[in-house]
Amino acid sequence: MSELSDLFRKSFLDLSPEEQAKRTQIARFREVFDDIEAALKAGYPQAFVRGKLAESGLSIGEDTFRVMLKRVRGERLAAPAGPATKQQAKASAPVLPSQPPSKPPEPLTAHQEREKISGTGK
């Protein structure tokens, strides 16, 4: 049980009390959300988890806890399944030619378009 409170404390130890006070409750909740979910999935009751959060510096009521839990779960579900970082996004972006084509392609004739549509064209 002490390992659970250690998980929450680790997230808050890097912040001074002044920095903690500047951050919103939901922002601080998001920081430890994965640990909260792990504790709930391990079978710890919500009241126990809230108590450990309070010991770590984040004191929230029962209703607020449920609302925050629902909100962050919804955010996680709605998050796009794309790359997690800008660097990953840049690496997966399509590579475009450095210069536009020198000459635009010739438009198709009506006959060529019909062949293309029917699948008989080359």
* Model pLDDT for residues 47-86, shown as the tens digit of each residue: 999 999 998 888 999 999 999 999 999 999 987 765 555 5
Question: Where exactly are the structural domains of the chain?
Answer: 2-81
pTM: 0.53
What is the distance between the alpha carbons of residues 88 and 1, in angstroms, rounded to a whole number?
37
Count CB neighbours of 30 within 10 A.
Answer: 17
Task: Kindly state the tokens that stand for 61.
Answer: 């009521």
How does pLDDT run across 78-107, given as a tens digit for each residue? Answer: 877 655 555 555 555 555 455 555 666 677
What is each CA distance from 60 to 47, 63, 68, 77, 122, in whole angstroms? 10, 8, 10, 23, 68
Structure tokens at 82: 């794309």
User: What would the mean pLDDT of 31-50 be, rounded to a whole number?
Assistant: 92
